[in-house]
Structure 1
Amino acid sequence: MLSSNATPFTMGPALLFCPADRPERFGKAADRSDAVILDLEDAVAPADKPGAREAILKQAGTGGLEPSRTIVRVNPVGTPEFDLDLEALARTPYRTVMLAKAETAEQLRSLEGYQVIALCETAEGIVNASAIAAEPNVVGLMWGAEDLLASLGGLSSRNDDGGYRAVALHSRSAVLLAAKAAGKEAVDSVYVNIPDLEGLLAESRDAISSGFGAKACIHPNQVAVVREAYAPTPEVIAQATELLEAAASAGTGVFQFKGKMIDGPILKHAEATLRRAGHPRVAS
């Protein structure tokens, strides 16, 4: 269950990172995605971070981005940049924050008053994912593959065939399970091979099938692919609708439909399909 002061995370499915020191891209990124992530961390060189904060402040003063569709990724807790990020954020209407390299539940308490997507991308963060997800101001968890492997002393999160290494798959699953167990949303990691849209589509389809509510993007061309993966086809919508109508007519917990036994979990899958399609019969 969600904590009493937590707001369900409804952004997505395609979240698009945008360097915070490139204000000319803010509006375009927001227009092309379901939510924009203004990045004050990895996408901005140390010398450019003050200017990036000023760019966010200047843009916020114009009312150009919708706070309900804007996320700001801040630097890790314990760094001087984190404190400066918070000082700047306090002067904006943005209250959804992505915390880079989240590692402990205690760190989340530094962001009281904000709705937080905790980015678990180190060994400590993955191990503590359940405790992090349980914090009241956490609305979602995301995992990061490359920073994770770097924290382990590894070289790459993927095998030569493009698939994730076992430790990356374990971490992906751990974050997903921790988020869902706490009633929070799970965001899948970025796909860094930008030209490989087929690979992105396959990974996005696996993400939605596994239970991730959104996927982060690093290039505008990736947004449409993620949306395609998350959007149920008309045939799938029709099947889910027919199944739920049959369940309503059966009026029992378990029933037979087209030669198959149908129970609660299968009905939940059908409800999730209609929810993604924005079907009015299913509450979000």
Structure 2
Amino acid sequence: MTGVAAPAGVWFITPGHGPGRFPTAHQCGADVALVDLEDSVPAAAKPTARAAARSFFTASAATDCALGVRISSPTTLDGVHDLAAISAFAVKPPIILVPKVESPRDFEIVAGALDTPEYSPLLYALIETPRAVEALPDIVRADRIAGVLFGTADYATATGSTMEWEPMLHARSAVVTSAAAAGIPAIDSPFFDLDDLDGLRREAENVKALGFAGKSCVHPGQLPTVAEVFSPSPEEIDAARAIVDAAETADGRIVRVGHQMIGPPMVAAARDLLTRARTPREVTG
């Protein structure tokens, strides 16, 4: 893993064969904007998407997002073509999302194809199969891993379950636990019902409570809701500030703040929240 901080928060993904949507992705206000070369691109359009994706990373692209690309699995022919195309980009993606990861070997393939003395992208694993969930303790300790994303659609297909909260809870918990043990962020799956913003909010609140550091979106209309959930509220900021203030005068002792006994883990979480609150996110719908 590199020494660069791994982005979390709100992620947005746009199909690679639709370059007309690239400006929207660049200006959407997400923390990370990805151009997709995998599932959202029909097989016949993949060569077009590889060629178009080059412009997603041009130096002239006006954006406050961290930019990245989701490749096809590096164990497939499409993935090999994706890596070959990216290696020739004049401006290379800072972030590579690797789908269908089931082994640290996937990162060795991607890093071996792309790394140079001047370029070493952040690699994120997309966890979306039962085999990947079983292999999480090894995957999250891969040398180059920067974070993990969970994918409900492929996981539900593989298990024969629905994408509802209860069937996905075990896998989500495993992803969060393994990521936390490795000290890397976990980002949740997109919510695929574009018209159900209430359902999106509930799911975002649930995954935040579970420990996810962010959530992916597949439509610009979802971004404000997810950003609001993952941005600290005024009440959370006030509570965190009270905890930090109490800790600074407690000389290392466990203290009471309101109705809570506050120890070092709560103080660390409060400091992290205040750090995030100092960089507010503006998201356009």
Do they fold alike, i.e. is TM over 0.5?
Answer: yes
RMSD: 2.0
Q: Judging changes above 3 Å, is the alpha-carbon distance between structure 1 residues 241 and 121 closer, same or farther for their aligned structure 2 residues?
A: same
Q: Match for 1:174: what amino acid?
A: A
* Alignment length (residue pairs): 269
Deviations 1:32-68 (A, max 9, x none): 1222111100000000000000001244446326697
Residue 181 (1) aligns with residue 178 (2):
no
Alpha-carbon separation, structure 2, partners of 1:236 and 1:125: 34
Listed as ranges, the gaps of 5+ residues in structure 2 are 116-120, 281-285
Whole-Å separation in 2 of the counterparts to 1:7 and 1:173: 26
- 8 Å CA contact retained: 2:127, 2:148: yes
Q: Deviations over 1:85-141 (max 9, x none)?
A: 001111232131101111111111012133211001011111111211101211001
Instruction: Report if the CA contact (8 A) 1:190-1:216 is conserved.
Output: yes
For residues 196-252 of structure 1, what are the alpha-carbon distances to aligned partners after superposition, in whole Å with 9 as ceiling and x for unaligned? 111111221222222211110011011100110011222221121122111101112
Aligned partner of 1:89 in structure 2 is: 86
Q: Which residue of 2 aligns with 1:170?
A: 170
Cα distance in 2 for residues equivalent to 1:67 and 1:105: 31
Aligned with residue 123 of structure 1, among 117, 122, 130: 130
SS of residue in 1 equivalent to 2:252: coil
SS in 1 for 2:270: helix
Q: Which amino acid aligns with 2:22?
A: F
Aligned to 1:269: 269
20 and 164 in structure 1: CA distance in 2 versus 1, 3 angstrom threshold: farther
Residue number in structure 1 paired with 2:283: none
Paired residues for 1:187-206 under 5 Å: 187-206=187-206
Task: After superposing the two structures, state which structure 1 stretch, 43-52 or 23-32, moved more.
Answer: 23-32
2:118 is aligned to none
Does structure 1 residue 102 correspond to structure 2 residue 101? yes
CA contact (8 A) 1:15 1:35 kept: yes
Provide closer, same or farther for how the CA distance between residues 85 and 107 of structure 1 changes in structure 2, counting only shifts above 3 A: same
**Is the CA contact 1:6–1:115 (under 8 Å) kept in the aligned structure 2?**
no
1:19 paired residue number: 15
Per the normalisation by structure 2, the TM-score is: 0.88
Q: Structure 1's 149 and 64: CA in aligned 2 closer, same or farther, altered over 3 A?
A: same
Q: In structure 2, what is the equivalent of residue 38 of structure 1?
A: 35
1:77 to 58, 74, 80: 74
The code of the aligned residue for 2:198 comes to E
For the Cα contact (< 8 Å) 2:6–2:185, is it kept in 1? yes
Deviates more, 1:219-228 or 1:195-204: 195-204
- 189-198 vs 42-51, greater mean Cα deviation: 189-198
Contact 1:20 1:55 in 2 (8 A): yes
CA distance in 1, matches of 2:279, 2:43: 45
In structure 1, runs of 5+ residues without a counterpart are none
Give the SS at the match of 1:98.
strand
**Which residue of the other structure, out of 155, 162, 170, is the alignment partner of 1:156?**
162
Query: Could you say which residue in structure 2 is the equivalent of 1:233?
Result: 233
